[in-house]
Chains A and B, each alone.
Chain A
Amino acid sequence: MVQKNLNMAFFITVGVSIVVFIYLVFLGYDEIKTFKDVVKIIGSIVFPLPILFFTRFIVIEHFLPENTDAYKAENQRPATMLLVVSVVIVLLLIQFLEFVSQKKLEDTLVLAHLINSTTISSYVFNFLLYNNLKANGILSGILMALAIHIFFLST
């Protein structure tokens, strides 16, 4: 049962990321005029992969907790806390950056793509290899904050 829940969470998170991605492409559809823009989007999607491989290369066997119920029960509370905290912090951070630079996130779509792809690939990476629940919480938090910002806060 617990197993199934976690897998559902995984698929939902990946789904959210894909929706965000499609929405971003849709949002910037008018701006994609030249081959250049396509290159930029592809670049921002590929960006996290080499870093992740490198990280995996170095950190090959740290943080490999057994996925037991005890481990989950122990980490439930901190992970949830981290999720909430990171949602709030990232939302505030985006607002702050928008305020400082006087620019909307939608105007710099490459950045949004970058955040999206980096977060989701680290999430998948973490899920497959390290299964660190705290990192899981933070990454889901960042992704959720991005989704909330894009879908609800930007007018």
Chain B
Amino acid sequence: MNVIKTPKSQTNSSKRELLFTFQTIIVTGLLAFTAIAFFFYNNDLSVVKGIKVIFAPFLSVVPLLFILSVLRDLRKGFIEGNYTKQQILKFALITLGITAAFTGITFLLSKINALEILLAGIIAILSIVFFLRSKIKDILGMSIVTGIAEGIIVYMIFLF
């Protein structure tokens, strides 16, 4: 009956971690897709300064690496049991807020006419996602990542 039968040995927290990983993969894919879409759509993007484009990602990756090496894990990881109603409500609202914020941010990204700045922006968001993935393993991280994904999708569907 169950097509995907989860083994009994798997705990809830490891399931949550797996879901979190899936979510980050989705966001990464979406960001890559956004970058490609903007490159195609804004035909007037000029690759005049090739060196700038190559170096733009480092602008945001270097701080990420620094932060990752300095900080220890911020949260204790995923909890085993259920969340309370109040927590669910709170984090759903956070997700909604971040969705709205990222709809706006994607809109701003689409306004950028320079390829290197666009690339730096997208890589910066990607770095934030990876930071959340590796350090904030918690429902907070999950809701932020969900918010980012939904924001990008909402922009794609309704505003692009």
Contacts and interface: CB of A to CB of B under 8 A. Distances in A.
Contact of A50 (B4, B16, B150, B160): B150
A29 interface: no
Interface in B1-33: 1-4, 12, 15-16, 19-20, 22-23, 26-27, 30, 33
Contacts of A46: 26, 30, 153
Contacts, number: 78
Nearest to B6: A129
B2 A57 contact: no
Interface of B: 1-4, 12, 15-16, 19-20, 22-23, 26-27, 30, 33, 37, 40-41, 82-83, 88, 91, 95, 139, 142-143, 145-146, 149-150, 153-154, 156-157, 160
List the 5 closest A-B pairs by CB distance, nearest first. Answer: A43-B156, A50-B149, A43-B157, A54-B146, A50-B146
Given A53-B22, A54-B146, 15 more contacts: A6-B1, A40-B160, A43-B157, A43-B160, A50-B27, A50-B145, A50-B149, A50-B153, A58-B88, A58-B139, A60-B15, A60-B82, A61-B82, A67-B1, A131-B1
